[in-house]
Amino acid sequence: MGKLGVSIYPERSTYEKDAAYLDLAHQYGFKRVFTSLLEIKGNQDEVVGNFKKVIDHANELGMEVMIDINPGLFNQLGVTYDDLSFFHKLGAWGVRLDLGFTGAEEAKMTRNPYGIKIEVNMSQGTNYIDNIMSFSPKRENLLGSHNFYPHRFSGLGHDFFVMATKKFTKYNLNTAAFINSQAATFGPWPTQDGLCTLEDHRQLNLAVQVKHYLMMDLIDDLIIANAYASEAELKEVSAAFNDDFPAITIIPAADITADERKCLFETLHSYRGDRSEYILRSSATREIYRDRPFPAHHTVPIQRGDILIDNVGYGQYKGETQIALQAMPNDGRVNVVGHIDPDESFLLSYLRPWSDFRMVEK
């Protein structure tokens, strides 16, 4: 089972605020903590001391702290890849290598005596991971995570993301990606337009980002990249991540009937496997509510994302629930009873035949 995570940036906030945020995240089941030590300005002991204080607090909560680091900092701290005692003393669960070595070093680092996890960058799209694997790393200590992108329009595209991720999943390595809070205000750098792995997620509600990742089924852990997400967001993310079935948000039509509401919101839907290119069929409702009348109303032309229920004019199909996959004419036998929330309409492409899902009202 994957884990949820949050990010903290001790150099850009206070211990009190970070600790309060970790307490709140822990309350909603968040397990991982991402932080970054990419550069140390000013008094090194003071900076490291501040990090240790907040890492200790995370550890007291049973959370797992991953520290993002670049090779330049190894020199500054006097750390070598074959001696990770510095990170052990700091209380780190793992070290993320923002930039890697040659493969041999990463493999050797996974065999450290402290059991510290080594997380490598998944967003390069090269054969980097194959190279590490050729040096026989200790597999349970090797993880992958994608980058996040503070610059608008610089995040990963979907096809590249899938290609780069599959280079890791073929080895059954733990994978992670970053999602973007709309309430958070800062990250590791002064300038940011949000922080996300996938560019298409930048403006989306956090729960929708989570649903998308779950439906792609390629990523284990999801980490909110910017600080601080609101309590409402943490609650939504936790609910979406732990939901037994994907929940598609629906905006009902103004004249939806009580029986149609039951079909949509009180039934677990199942995408029929003998699929059509025009409609996604959930046939159970025509059996469950076969005794209900379903009179014709709102039989307007059909658009992609419309929620449909066959009315009494459709004979044995009366009461069947469908989602339109493309525009179609309506001959009067189909009631248009709602529409997928526009922010979630892209999720239609990720619903798989034979999979179950729920509909929830916006």
Among 199, 226, 243, the domain boundary falls at: 243
At CA 342, angle to CA 341 and CA 344, rounded to 5? 70
Among 196, 228, 243, the domain-final residue is 243
Residue 298 shares a structural domain with residue 218:
no
**Helix (H/G/I), strand (E/B), else coil: 143:** strand
- pLDDT (tens digit per residue) in 227-238: 999 999 999 999
Report the pLDDT value the prediction gives residue 38, as an integer from 0 to 100: 74
Q: Kindly report which listed range (37-51, 92-106, 189-203, 221-235) carries the lowest average pLDDT score.
A: 37-51
Q: Are 151 and 275 part of one and the same domain?
A: no
Do 329 and 349 lie in one domain? The reply is: yes
Q: Which pLDDT score is estimated for 100?
A: 82
Q: At what angle do helices 15-27 and 231-242 cross, to 10 degrees?
A: 30
Q: Distance between CA atoms of 224 and 68, rounded to whole angstroms?
A: 15
Closest CA to 4 of 257, 177, 243, 169: 177
Residue 79 has pLDDT above 90, yes or no: no
Domain that holds residue 355: 248-361
| CA–CA distance, 132 with 320 (Å, rounded to integer) | 52
Q: Could you give the number of structural domains in the chain?
A: 2
How wide is the angle at C-alpha 207 spanned by C-alphas 201 and 210, nearest 5°? 65
| Domain match, 48 and 74 both | yes
Q: What is the pTM of this model?
A: 0.94
**pLDDT value of position 159:** 97
Residue 329: pLDDT band (50, 70, 90) is: very high
CATH code, domain with 282: 2.40.100.10
Q: How large is the average pLDDT for residues 12-28?
A: 97
In this structure, the answer to whether residues 220 and 263 fall within a common structural domain is: no
Tally of CB atoms within 10 A around 51 = 23
pLDDT at 184: 97
Is there a single domain that holds both residue 219 and residue 304? no
Q: Under a CB-based contact definition with an 8 Å cutoff, are residues 146 and 137 in contact?
A: no
What's the confidence (pLDDT) of residue 339? Answer: 98
Q: Can you give the pLDDT at residue 81?
A: 86
Over residues 271-291, the pLDDT tens digits come to 999 999 999 999 999 999 999
Q: What percent of the chain has pLDDT over 70?
A: 100
Q: Could you tell me if 200 and 266 lie in one domain?
A: no
Q: Supply the pLDDT for residue 37.
A: 87
Residue type, position 172, single letter: N
Tell me: do 263 and 232 sit in the same domain.
no
What average pLDDT does this structure show over 340-345? Answer: 96
